[in-house]
Copies of this chain bind each other. A is one copy, B any other.
Amino acid sequence: MKSKEKLSAAFEKNLHVCIGLDTDINKIPQFLKSEKSPIAVFNKMIIENTYEHAAAYKINFAFYEQEGAKGFELLEETRKFIPENVFSIADAKRGDIGNTSEMYAKAIFDLLDFDSITLHPYMGYDSLSPFISYEDRLCFVLALTSNKGAIDFEKLELANGKLLYQEVIEKVRLWNTNKNLGLVFGATKLEELKENIGRFDELPILLPGVGAQGGSLEDVVSAFHKARNNRFLINISRGLIYVDSSNEFISKVKNLLDSFNKTIETINNC
């Protein structure tokens, strides 16, 4: 199944929750810590018990890289737990000169076989093109991010009257000849989301920031519903995978995911 088809299939089933595997050894349930590889066991349990009700999984590279080579192995292992027909996102935020981006693209798409990656726009088109040239994979380019620092550069006004992140949206639309680009847009930036939602066209949108960062699932879903746009993924990491730390954490995660999905369905049926 091709990456684009996996994503479309999720949207057709009204699935929009992307589960962020920001797995932290200090936050997983105590009883798993006696396992030989606690993080692998945790990730496997989360994926096996949620994949039928999740739109995607996003792996945050930092959480694995901090363990060095061992962490990279864990990342490779976790990637393999994600079923073939479920969309995967390498949250690696890459972006470099051409020959370097090419190497990163090989790592993410060939070696690790991710369906998509997150990318920094700062260095411009030729820093993104080695990723874009994998026509059957997707690239989510940072537009307006969920953090406070978004104000420092992303929201600067340009001489042409647009804000920098709006220029990013515009250029990403122009560069989308392979129909494999998307955007990252912070769920914490609701006003800006409503203002710009009409500019997204068919670009899939990845929205981090619901949960620990304060974004509201309901608000985001309502905004997309109102705009008659269903091409969005709401990422939830800490707010979902660490909802409980008892031996029964999995049932709590499943219940919470179900409640998210019901909320989405209810709004979309309005």
- Does chain B have a CB within 8 A of A3? no
> In the bound complex, what is the Cα–Cα distance between A168 and B123 (angstroms)?
13
Given contacts A94-B93, A97-B145, A171-B152, contact A65 B104 (CB under 8 A): yes
- Does chain B have a CB within 8 A of A45? no
> In the bound complex, what is the Cα–Cα distance between A60 and B147 (angstroms)?
27
In addition to A97-B146, A124-B150, A125-B149, 16 A-B residue pairs with Cβ atoms within 8 Å of each other are: A62-B100, A66-B104, A69-B69, A69-B73, A97-B208, A97-B213, A120-B122, A122-B154, A123-B149, A124-B148, A124-B154, A125-B148, A125-B152, A153-B164, A153-B168, A158-B158
When the two chains form their complex, are residues B153 and A97 in contact, meaning their CB atoms are under 8 A apart? no
> In the bound complex, what is the Cα–Cα distance between A159 and B161 (angstroms)?
7
When the two chains form their complex, are residues A124 and B97 in contact, meaning their CB atoms are under 8 A apart? no
- Does chain B have a CB within 8 A of A76? yes
Q: Please, which residues of chain B bring their CB within 8 A of the CB of A150?
A: 123-124
Nearest chain B residue, comparing its CB with the CB of A151: B124
Q: Can you list, as one digit per residue, whether each of A112-137 has a CB less than 8 Å from chain B (1) or not (0)? A: 10000000111111111000000000
List residues of A whose CB falls within 8 A of some B CB.
22, 60, 62-63, 65-73, 76, 93-104, 106-107, 111-112, 120-128, 142, 145-154, 156-161, 164, 167-168, 171, 208, 213
Q: With both chains docked as a complex, state the minimum distance between the C-beta of A101 and any C-beta of chain B, in angstroms.
A: 7
10 closest Cβ pairs, A-B complex: A124-B149, A124-B152, A62-B103, A157-B159, A126-B149, A69-B72, A69-B73, A66-B107, A65-B107, A62-B100
A112 contact from B68, B72, B103, B168, Cβ within 8 A: B68
Given contacts A121-B122, A122-B153, A159-B157, contact A66 B145 (CB under 8 A): no
When the two chains form their complex, are residues A148 and B126 in contact, meaning their CB atoms are under 8 A apart? yes
Given contacts A60-B100, A107-B68, contact A156 B167 (CB under 8 A): yes
> In the bound complex, what is the Cα–Cα distance between A149 and B71 (angstroms)?
33
When the two chains form their complex, are residues A120 and B103 in contact, meaning their CB atoms are under 8 A apart? no
Nearest chain B residue, comparing its CB with the CB of A146: B97
A120 contact from B93, B101, B151, Cβ within 8 A: B93
When the two chains form their complex, are residues B62 and A96 in contact, meaning their CB atoms are under 8 A apart? yes
